[in-house]
Structure 1
Amino acid sequence: MKLIKFLLILLLPIAGFSQMGGEGEVYLKGDRIEAKFNGGGIDKFQEYLNENFDYSKVTKLGKLEATFTVDEQGNVTKIRITQILDIESATEMIRVLKKCPKWEPARRGGKPISIEIKYPMVFQKK
């Protein structure tokens, strides 16, 4: 019994350290700089959508969600609608994303990387 207590006291700090080591891996990935749209963040992208999205195409209330990739050159690629309301609003979202100007790509370690962005739009009565 004393041996078990001794081993528990000895091994508990090691187990705690291994959990902290896993958190450290997340920190190491923290050098990523997010992609920018027209010199800003997602708020600038939202302004672009508000100016270019034809809201008359929306026939249902609810949530439309698009996923797309901003590649290493800043192009919008791999456009997908992951949550659909109706065909008209989904088609309009794809149209607006296809004509989207280039982004400033995300960077990791100073090098451009491609990232996936998930963007939801919620349509509700005002």
Structure 2
Amino acid sequence: MSKLNIFKSEWLDVVFENRNKDYGAYELRKLGPKATNTALLIVTVAVAAFSIPQAFNLKLFKSSEPPKEEIAFTEELTLEDLPELPEEEEKPPVQEEAPRIAESKPALDVVALPEIKPVPKEKVVEEVEVATTEEATDKKKLIGPVAMKGMKGGSITTEGKWGTKDVAGSATGSTKGVEGGTGEGDRIFESVEINPSPKKGMDAFRKWIADNYQYPSGAIDAGVKGTITVSFVVERNGELTDIKVLKDLSYGTGQAAINLLKKAEKWNPGIQNGRPVRVAYTLPIRLDLTQM
């Protein structure tokens, strides 16, 4: 057994002794070396058949082509031959504008300062003076009409000539009045010696109207603009009464002005003959939505 060569068929006979040699394993092991040698030979021939022609082709191509000569081009350049570059003009630096910040505006600052038109002095009602005893006898003095209410127990004798007698005029009777009266009553003046004015000044009153006027929403939607005119009476105590709209722009703009003036502070009353009197006042208020 020690002298057996594993590369010869004798070794196979020992391995497959008393075994089925027709099964196939015996034939495969017996033909294995031959198959390996055959495959190796085929691969060697194939590699040689592919590589040998390639080697010959490279050698033939290299011998047939003439060597290429390398030509170097050199040219001397001087600074005088270089073209002059045009000088670039220095451009001023562009100043970038800072981003603008949108200014917020008040929501309803739509009322311009009211235009106050004082009543001209020409409309002042002339004062009616009570004539003295001497002036009453002067026919050049004209006395305004006086309404008198008769009372029992009085008599009036007119001056004139009755028959052949000259009779001097006279009057007797009793008077009736209110103690401490001024003679002005409830009269409303259109112009006086000293016009009524807001206690904080007209500029402050204009600003108060502009800041507190409530622009009606309907007028905002309709884009209403223009001037509304209101009138009122400055009482002797400075209170604003009898507020009316003389010119309205509809959509509640006039009523908004009335509601605002009812909240106004008392004014300095108008003065006539050194006494406070009732004075009619006209106030235009300009509305403009474009000033928002």
Q: TM-score, normalised by structure 2?
A: 0.31
Partner of 1:38: 199
- More relative contact order in 1 or in 2 (CA 8 Å, sep 6+)? 1
Shift of 1:55: 2.8
Task: Letter of the 2:267 partner, please give it.
Answer: W
Structure with higher strand content? 1
For 1:15, the equivalent position in structure 2 comes to none
Query: Partner residue of 1:48?
Result: 208
More helix by share: 1
Q: Look up the match of 2:253.
A: 89
Structure 1 residues 1-126: aligned runs within 5 Å: 32-40=193-201, 42-57=202-217, 59=219, 60-124=224-288, 125-126=290-291
Between the aligned partners of 1:122 and 1:62, the Cα distance in structure 2 is: 6
Q: 1:57–1:79: structure 2 CA closer, same or farther, 3 Å change rule?
A: farther
State the identity as a percent.
24
Structure 2 unaligned residues grouped into runs of 5+: 1-123, 128-190
Amino acid at match of 1:49: I
The 4+ residue runs of structure 1 with deviation greater than 3 A are: 28-31
Q: Distance in 2 between matches of 1:108 and 1:97?
A: 24
CA RMSD of aligned residues (A): 2.6
Alignment-derived partner of residue 160 in structure 2: none
Equivalent pair of 1:74/1:105 in contact (CA under 8 Å): yes
Q: Deviations over 1:51-110 (max 9, x none)?
A: 221135571111111011101110100100000001421111011011111111011121
Paired residue total: 101
Alpha-carbon spacing, 1:31–1:53, altered in 2? closer, same or farther (3 Å): closer
**Alignment gaps of 5+ in structure 1:** 1-25
Cα contact 1:58–1:86 (8 A) shared by 2: no
TM-score (norm 1): 0.68
